[in-house]
Homo-oligomer: A and B are copies of this chain.
């Protein structure tokens, strides 16, 4: 076991109709609220009206239009609004893209420089505006951690960033709010949470009990994934997926490890950056390819996983186990299914090389990129 730290101060309110307690939570931080959300979906679902009613006693400044692959321009624009209006607290309503954006906005409001200066490491935040969020998509775990992934079209980067200052103070998770998520995005969320568990599994450090938690999360996802896609308004299924997504990225799966790998997410982010693909879809393509690349390098670790999950005692069946699950959920498994050819292949490899893309534990190098993209085709 490696030395590690547990430090997760987020308060999670989980369950039916818990957003009634929202005003009480916001009031702890102030009167002036930056209300951040994405597209029209919260208006269609009625959540927008619900939130507006709950915010009746507050001064509310809205910023909407956060994209599902969130961009730095929105972060800067929302931070500008927050700064001008001297907001006390950010209310982020949405999925990972909105909450990730809120984290960077929270750090950017108190400063004059561009938010990307945090992302590229030139600046470190000294303070941040408190964040409260209402989660509407079970997937990224952003509601329970201090990390954000944002993309920059100008520098052609989509990268992760984090600071203990931007942990949400309180997150509201009502499974009913995910009833309106489409079958496709429900599936992508489930693939994402499985991928999070795997990134920890392939991190640095042996932690058998954390591994058992990982097996539990993936078993759970496999048990209920299809049923949830097919029964969008089943409370219990939606609750189980929402909790699985939280447990997959609240830190537990990395206890006893120095760090998780995140190499496959890096690949996925490149694909989203170049072609605006949904995050979960990129992972359904990238994870099996990455496992094939690693098959001869870390066979024991892959077989251990396959044995726990599928009773399969070989690498090939283990990888197929994941592919079958992702395909059953309705996801493409290969870039060729998206109509990608030699042109895109060259673009992706070149982009990987430029960004020196790698996992933290299992390092990727220039030779790997071509192989990986071949395996994704």
Chain A residues engaging chain B, CB cutoff 8 angstroms: 1-16, 18, 144, 175, 206-210, 212-213, 215-217, 219-220, 223, 235-236, 239-240, 243-244, 247, 250, 252, 255-256
Q: Is the CB of A212 within 8 A of B208?
A: no
Shortest Cβ distance from A224 into chain B, in angstroms? 8
For residue A239, which residue of chain B has the nearest CB? Answer: B1
Beyond A213-B216, A216-B216, 11 additional contacts (C-beta under 8 Å) are A1-B15, A3-B14, A3-B15, A4-B15, A5-B12, A5-B14, A6-B11, A7-B11, A209-B243, A213-B247, A247-B252
Q: List 23 interface pairs A-B (beta carbons < 8 Å), by A numbering.
A: A1-B15, A1-B175, A1-B235, A1-B240, A5-B14, A6-B11, A6-B12, A14-B255, A208-B223, A209-B216, A209-B217, A209-B240, A209-B243, A209-B244, A209-B247, A210-B243, A212-B213, A213-B213, A213-B247, A215-B216, A216-B216, A243-B256, A252-B252
Q: How far is the CB of A216 from the nearest CB of chain B, in Å?
A: 3
In Å, the complex CA distance between A279 and B157 comes to 56
Copies of this chain in its oligomeric complex: 2
Bound form: Cα–Cα A64–B175 in Å: 49
Which chain B residues lie closer than 8 Å to A212 at the CB level? 213, 215-217, 219-220
Q: Which residues of B contact A213 (CB under 8 A)?
A: 212-213, 216, 247
A208 to B1, Cβ gap below 8 A? no
> How many angstroms from the CA of A250 to the CA of B223 in the assembled complex?
26
Chain B residues near A144 (CB, 8 Å)? Answer: 6
What residues of chain B lie closer than 8 Å to A11, measured between beta carbons? 5-7
A9 / chain B contacts, CB cutoff of 8 Å: 9
Q: Once bound together, how far apart are the Cα atoms of A1 and B217, in whole Å?
A: 16
Residue of chain B at shortest CB distance from A15:
B3
Residue ID in chain B nearest A10 by CB atoms: B6
CB distance from A272 to the nearest CB of B (A): 28
The answer, among B7, B14, B207, B215, for a CB contact under 8 Å with A6, is B14
> How far apart are A210's CB and chain B's nearest CB, in angstroms?
8
State A217–B5 Cα separation when bound (angstroms). Answer: 19
> B243, A220: Cβ atoms under 8 Å?
no
| A248 CB to nearest chain B CB (Å) | 10
How distant is A38 from chain B, measured CB to nearest CB, in Å?
25
Q: How long is the Cα–Cα vector from A235 to B236 in the complex, in angstroms? A: 41
- A11 nearest in chain B by CB position: B7
Nearest chain B CB to A374's CB is how many angstroms away? 36
